[in-house]
Amino acid sequence: MSALDTAAAVRAGERSAVDILDEHLARIARRDGEIHAFNLVTEGLARSQAESVDAAVAEGRDPGPLAGVPVAVKDNTCTRGIPTTCSSRILEGWLPPYDATVIERLGSAGAIIIGKTNLDEFAMGSSTENSAFGPSRNPHDVTKVPGGSSGGSAAAVAAGFAPLAIGSDTGGSVRQPASLCGVVGVKPTYGVVSRYGLVAFASSLDQIGPFATSIADAAVLLEVIGGHDPRDSTSIPEPAPSLLDVLGRGVDGMRVGVITELAGGPGGVEGIAPDVVARTRQAVAALEAAGARVSEISVPSAILGLSAYYLIAPAEASSNLSRYDGVRYGLRVDAPTTGEMNIASRSAGFGDEVKRRIMLGTYALSAGYYDAFYGKALKVRTLIMRDFAAAYEQVDVLVSPTSPTTAFGFGDKTADPMAMYVNDVCTIPSNLSGHPAISIPFGVGDDGMPIGVQILGPAQSEPTIFTVATVLEDVAAKGGAQ
């Protein structure tokens, strides 16, 4: 049952929110030992929320558009009085004193917070293998990764543990695991969803986004969590985008561009698998058959996105993660002096990938190297913004693969950080530009694992990219993605 159908049944009194919760808790109990989507199942909170929803329905009050719908929340999102670990030892024992804005909005909409999901430590990774609590596994094949960093959220939705989930996307961390797990994943326009209460990785890139099994479910979740928040200085001062009422508009006459540099051909980024290219081309053909006008569009600086990102994001992480000092909260390893205590706490508390990025970012910001590395990366970011702006003068949306490959095996890429980083090559440009993008399941690869196709649009074009995504979802449902 979809999230929309579940909420409608609860609001009408046809289903009990408590019964729906129990069904999902039973699924988690049966299979999460194998999947490890969750760091913590919040059964007590969830049951209290479900009982409140049922009480509201009994009293004739409307609990909200997500009444009784279980939602899994990435464990870098603050939940008052409930552990928020970022899958890191450094936050051991920390209980946030407040809820993130998205948690407040989910509660106001009648949603049920069913648990906190696993992730790559501090959202740094593309496979969820970097978690201090062990990896999550892909529900389609538990020998394969679910993607990352929001792998636990994607796996929770794909396994049926929750109809909806919340993730964060800094370089593709919603869209890439959505692609690998065969679900819908959305990175909204930067500023559409409040970052208040999201534990920061790279503040100019981070954005919270939804996971769902359908475009309509993703749309209602984004409507609920989006909109202006005065507590976030980067929040766009406008209401959440209206999405549900535009999903059936179709693409007749719409201008659709295929990003040349991400299409798997010569001169573009390397490593995009032939089966992924084939599904992307099928998606483009389906849009053309539905009335869209298709053309090849070059975004030359897209090939530079990976290099710029892995300077900008670590630099911001180096600054943001300096607050974990063993003094204010989280893990503390005692030592004779304050400096030694700081070093010992951070050495014990952070994993290898987080340490790698902190060192890279600190180096890029250091005297003598700032202009050569960080400053140059910022110039490339500006170039990417300009190239996308030029592209959107010619087309309404762009299409590309979401991930270069289908899900890979555990350990396949952990020995080579660059091999892991390349997983984000198609998704990073949207984070650097601040634009929205959505990954839609569109068929499977040669290995039978899901493939996602990505729709990109200019700032605040969520209604348009959701409309395009709905057309592809209908084609895939009718067997048009083989």
pLDDT digits (tens, 9 = 90+) for 87-128: 999 999 999 999 999 999 999 999 999 999 999 999 999 999
CATH number assigned to the domain comprising residue 151: 3.90.1300.10
Beta bridge partners of 255: 293
Has residue 393 been placed in a domain? no
pLDDT at 270: 86
pLDDT at 415: 86
- Nearest by Cα to 406 from 452, 440, 438: 452
pLDDT at 478: 85
Catalytic residue check, 173: yes
Which helix or strand (DSSP H or E) is residue 165 part of? strand 164-168
**For residues 54 and 58, what is the distance between their CA atoms, to the nearest angstrom?**
6
Q: What is the pLDDT of residues 280-295, one digit of tens each?
A: 999 999 999 999 999 9
Residue type, 298: S
Close Cβ partners of 42 (under 8 Å, ≥ 6 residues apart): 79, 82, 113, 114, 115, 116
pLDDT at 367: 87
Average pLDDT over residues 437-454: 97
Per-residue pLDDT band at 267 (split at 50, 70, 90): confident
Contact between 428 and 187 under an 8 Å Cβ cutoff? The reply is no
Catalytic residue check, 149: yes
Chain centroid offset of residue 176 CA: 8
Average pLDDT over residues 196-217: 98
Has residue 360 been placed in a domain? no
Tokens describing residue 417: 């950080």
Has residue 126 been placed in a domain? yes
Give me the number of domains the chain comprises. 1
pLDDT at 82: 97
**For residues 57 and 17, what is the distance between their CA atoms, to the nearest angstrom?**
10
Catalytic residue check, 74: yes
Has residue 291 been placed in a domain? no
- Mapped onto helix, strand or coil, the DSSP state of residue 388 is helix
Q: Which residue, chain included where needed, has tokens 């070059």?
A: 298
Q: What is the pLDDT of residues 323-335, one digit of tens each?
A: 999 998 899 999 9
**For residues 156 and 139, what is the distance between their CA atoms, to the nearest angstrom?**
8
pLDDT at 264: 81
pLDDT at 368: 86
Options 74, 116, 144, 187, the catalytic residue: 74
Has residue 459 been placed in a domain? no
Average pLDDT over residues 262-289: 92
| Angle subtended at Cα 260 by Cα 169 and Cα 252, rounded to the nearest 5 degrees | 85
- Nearest by Cα to 15 from 25, 24, 4, 6: 6
Residue type, 236: I
pLDDT at 419: 85
- Mapped onto helix, strand or coil, the DSSP state of residue 144 is strand
What pairing do the DSSP bridges indicate for beta strands 450-456 and 397-401?
antiparallel
**For residues 62 and 52, what is the distance between their CA atoms, to the nearest angstrom?**
11
Residue type, 79: T
pLDDT at 4: 98
Has residue 361 been placed in a domain? no
Has residue 149 been placed in a domain? yes
Per-residue pLDDT band at 375 (split at 50, 70, 90): very high
- Mapped onto helix, strand or coil, the DSSP state of residue 38 is strand
Q: How many residues does the chain have?
A: 482
**For residues 243 and 223, what is the distance between their CA atoms, to the nearest angstrom?**
7
Cis omega (within 30 of 0) on the bond before 149? yes
Per-residue pLDDT band at 51 (split at 50, 70, 90): very high
pLDDT at 265: 75
- Mapped onto helix, strand or coil, the DSSP state of residue 210 is strand
Has residue 169 been placed in a domain? yes
CA trace torsion 236, 237, 242, 243 (10° rounding) = 10
pTM over 0.85: yes
The residue range of the domain holding 126 is: 3-246
- Mapped onto helix, strand or coil, the DSSP state of residue 354 is helix
Contact between 420 and 126 under an 8 Å Cβ cutoff? The reply is yes
**For residues 148 and 132, what is the distance between their CA atoms, to the nearest angstrom?**
14
Options 131, 173, 179, 301, the catalytic residue: 173
Q: What percent of the chain has pLDDT over 90?
A: 93
Options 149, 150, 301, 403, the catalytic residue: 149
Average pLDDT over residues 142-162: 98
Tokens describing residue 438: 């959505």
Average pLDDT of every residue of the chain? 96
Average pLDDT over residues 13-37: 98
Contact between 78 and 99 under an 8 Å Cβ cutoff? The reply is yes
Residue type, 378: L
